[in-house]
Amino acid sequence: MEFFDPHFHIWDLETPAAEGAGYPLASGHDAAILFPPGGNAIHSTAAYEKQFELVSDTIEHVGGAWVEAASVCHVDMASGDPGYIAACLAEAKWTAAQLATSSKKYVLVASVPLETENTADLLAQLAAIKGVKGIRQIVNAKPDWPRNGKMGDLLDNEAWQKGYGELAKVGFSFDLQLNPPQYLKAAALIAKTPAVPVIINHLGCPTLEDLTERADVFFAGMEAMAAASKNVYIKISMLCYIAPEWDQNQLVVDAVHRIIKIFGTTRCFFASNYPVDVKDGWPAPKLFAAFKKLASQYDEDAQKGLFAGNAKYAYRV
């Protein structure tokens, strides 16, 4: 089975900054937020790919979509701070150079703050970097992710909404990471700009409570986002955020199958979220055994889509 991994990270905590904006060796990463996988300050393309050697007898890893980490970094910098913007651009350039060392097929999901006055210029700079297909800017609010607490809910921010509209002009997709109470607002935004492909991250970041006492909010919001545009996709990933041993929790398993029914088998795909999920106890043999068990009730074409084909289509590979 081919696996095109639509959500993984590589980073460099050793040379996060350098003199001069856009210095090619600067990674823009933040050691105060990110961690050194396996104790290594640089988590390279080769280190990421090595994880799949453990399952090479059953899974052929063919590439994937790298996803930014800048939108959780540099908490003390405002969105318009030149240092933060330089870090976002440096991250994309460093990653493009790293991924170019591999013969596998990769695309990039970079980041810039959409709420800035010069969003159009920043997106144009990203579009000039080989392999960039879209951006992610984490918008989780209540509970907030590292940068978001002082910014409020970006989905309510008019400047951010205007910046989001610029994505269509450069042909970018948007990786949407948010919390269940934000789903209906996101669905309304998606419906206004259906030309922008949207890829929901990590099953929408539910907690166990979102699948129990708040299940109506979770599933109603998912149905709204799925109906907002045919260009909306969802990653089945980071399930250990819901329950550490999610494959043994029938509530989580049932929720995944219900999401696949809501979006259809052609708009869902598995993702590793490495190295984060490795750190959280899900190395490749364990993760892919669980994914294969989830996929086993679907036909062969659907399985191929869940592991590779759907993600390739969503990211225009």
What is the pTM assigned to this prediction?
0.96
pLDDT tens across the length of the chain (317 residues): 999 999 999 999 988 775 554 445 689 999 999 999 999 999 999 999 999 999 999 999 999 999 999 999 999 999 999 999 999 999 999 999 999 999 999 999 999 999 999 999 999 999 999 999 999 999 999 889 999 988 899 999 999 999 999 999 999 999 999 999 999 999 999 999 999 999 999 999 999 999 999 999 999 999 999 999 999 999 999 999 999 999 999 999 999 999 999 999 999 999 999 999 999 999 999 999 999 999 999 999 999 999 999 999 999 99
Q: Which CA distances in Å does 100 have to 46, 88, 95, 153?
A: 11, 19, 8, 36
* Letter string b/e over residues 94-116, b meaning 16 or more CB atoms within 10 A of that residue's CB: bbbebbeeeeeebbbbbbbbbbb
Q: Please state the φ and ψ torsions of residue 109, each to the nearest 5 degrees.
A: -115, 100
Residues 265, 306 contacting (CB under 8 angstroms):
yes
Q: What's at 190, amino acid-wise? A: I
pLDDT of residue 19: 52
Structure tokens given for 70 = 């800048």
At 156, which CATH number? 3.20.20.140
User: In terms of residue numbers, what domain contains 89?
Assistant: 2-314
Q: Which long-range contacts (CB under 8 A, 24 or more apart) does 73-78 make?
A: 73/28, 73/29, 73/30, 73/33, 73/34, 73/146, 73/147, 74/30, 74/33, 74/147, 75/32, 75/33, 75/146, 75/147
pLDDT of residue 150: 87
pLDDT of residue 23: 45
H or E element in which residue 16 lies: none
Q: Please state the φ and ψ torsions of residue 208, each to the nearest 5 degrees.
A: -60, -35
Residues 271, 5 contacting (CB under 8 angstroms):
yes
Neighbouring C-beta atoms of residue 43, cutoff 10 Å: 23
Residues 35, 279 contacting (CB under 8 angstroms):
yes
The CA distance from 114 to 288, in Å, is 35
Give the total number of structural domains in the chain. 1
